């Protein structure tokens, strides 16, 4: 066992008989005749358990308990009280003692108190071991994440090079060797899927950046952000003959411009590709009373069932033919971005064709002072 026990009592007979009993149990016993000696021994030897008489010359058992706990918050201190003095025993527990035993010290009462303390010590050791294992696991996981991020960056670079080259070759082939009507759709399919692969790679890189980086919230020029997104999606808007309806003014909000641009790009590209034919999108925003601004886009598509809505922002779900990979990855990144900025994402849909779906996200509302500080 070899656990250290400190006995503090001004009665030499208690120290001898009590100490002899504990030594026979396999404990290393330290003794002190007063509180001052006990504090010196406790600081030096750090015993696992302290038995201290309540009634001693100052510092008494209560004062000793408080001083020991100030040094070691979870120290196991058992106070020795007078026999039959239940008020003193109750006060000992109220003061924070681990347990109490009355004088004269009966072997069975001592064994019971020791058993309870040993159980607490065992649980503490197990908890400490579990915490150490958890800390080590977290450190290992962090190191793996660093390695994985470096690997992802290298792989993304290696994948994008041949994809960009393939798309360039396709464009050149279309210009110099015009395809027939039958093969035209294959050219478009190859180019479209190549661009989707590039988009997925870019979004996976963005996902890693959002996880790693912390950003300072700044006032957003939402009209400008949405205009930039429209330029980015110009080919998609033209291809699907999409029409967008925008508000004349946007509520002021806080965020990180590059990330919020990605949120809109995901929402709008999904609404165009998976919405109605032709796509008709309505964008809007509402300042709420809780200090947040809700931004949303409503499409005229077939809508989503409750089951589809529940899984839409979860990329770890098994592949679903109705939910393409680029859509699942994109929306999961949207969720990660908005939550990192202090907001929420959700979708609302009645699941009826033509009624469409409304995709929303919230950001913290900005004040006029926020915008003034930017414009100074």
- What whole-number distance in Å separates Cα of residue 172 and Cα of residue 187? 11
Least confident of 6-15, 225-234, 251-260: 6-15
Evaluate whether residue 119 is within a structural domain: no
Same domain, 245 and 255: yes
Whether 102 and 92 have beta carbons less than 8 Å apart is answered as no
Whether 22 and 108 have beta carbons less than 8 Å apart is answered as no
Same domain, 100 and 198: no
CATH number of the domain where residue 227 is located: 3.30.565.10
Q: Rounded to whole angstroms, what are the CA distances from 314 to 159, 193, 281, 333, 335?
A: 25, 22, 24, 10, 9
pLDDT digits (tens, 9 = 90+) for 242-282: 999 999 999 999 999 989 998 999 999 999 988 888 999 99
Position 212 scores a pLDDT of: 67
Evaluate whether residue 113 is within a structural domain: no
What is the extent of the structural domain holding 302?
A: 215-375
- What whole-number distance in Å separates Cα of residue 172 and Cα of residue 136? 54
Nearest residue to 370 (alpha-carbon basis) of 291, 296, 277: 291
Same domain, 285 and 158: no
pLDDT digits (tens, 9 = 90+) for 63-74: 888 898 888 888
Same domain, 280 and 254: yes
| Number of domains the chain contains | 3
Same domain, 366 and 225: yes
pLDDT digits (tens, 9 = 90+) for 102-128: 877 777 777 777 788 778 778 777 877
Whether 38 and 50 have beta carbons less than 8 Å apart is answered as yes
Distance of CA 111 to the CA centre of its chain: 45
Confidence of residue 345 (pLDDT cuts 50, 70, 90): very high
């Amino acid at each position: 066992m070899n656990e250290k026990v400190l006995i503090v009592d001004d009665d030499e007979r208690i120290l001898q008989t009590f100490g002899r009993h504990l030594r026979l149990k396999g404990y290393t016993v330290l003794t002190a005749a007063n509180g001052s000696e006990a504090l010196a021994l406790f600081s030096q030897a750090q015993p696992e358990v302290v038995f201290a008489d309540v009634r001693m010359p100052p510092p008494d058992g209560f004062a000793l308990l408080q001083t020991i706990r100030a040094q070691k918050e979870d120290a196991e201190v058992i106070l020795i009280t007078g026999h039959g003095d239940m008020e003193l025993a109750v006060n000992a527990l109220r003061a924070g003692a681990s347990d109490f035993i009355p004088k004269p010290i009966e072997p069975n009462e001592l064994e019971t108190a020791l058993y309870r303390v040993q159980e607490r010590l065992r649980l503490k050791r197990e908890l400490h071991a579990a915490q150490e294992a958890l800390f080590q696991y977290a450190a290992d996981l962090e190191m793996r994440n660093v390695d994985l991020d470096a690997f992802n960056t290298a792989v993304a670079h290696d994948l994008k090079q041949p994809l960009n080259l393939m798309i360039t070759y396709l464009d050149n082939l279309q210009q110099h060797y015009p395809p027939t009507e039958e093969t035209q759709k294959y050219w478009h399919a190859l180019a479209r899927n190549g661009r989707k692969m590039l988009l997925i790679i870019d979004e996976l890189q963005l996902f890693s950046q959002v996880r790693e980086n912390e950003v300072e919230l700044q006032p957003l020029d939402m009209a400008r952000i949405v205009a930039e997104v429209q330029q980015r999606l110009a080919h998609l808007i033209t291809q699907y003959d999409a029409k967008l309806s925008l508000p004349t003014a946007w509520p002021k909000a806080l965020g990180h411009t590059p990330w919020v641009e990605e949120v809109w790009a995901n929402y709008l590209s999904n609404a165009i590709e998976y919405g109605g034919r032709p796509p008709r999108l309505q964008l809007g925003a509402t300042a709420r009373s809780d200090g947040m601004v809700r931004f949303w886009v409503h499409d005229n598509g077939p809508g989503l069932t409750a089951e589809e809505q529940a899984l839409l922002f979860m990329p770890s779900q098994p592949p679903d033919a109705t939910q393409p990979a680029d859509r699942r990855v994109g929306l999961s990144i949207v969720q990660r971005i908005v939550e990192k900025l202090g907001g929420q994402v959700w979708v609302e849909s009645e699941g009826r064709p033509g009624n469409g779906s409304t995709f929303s996200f919230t950001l913290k509302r900005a004040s006029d002072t926020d915008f003034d500080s930017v414009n100074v």
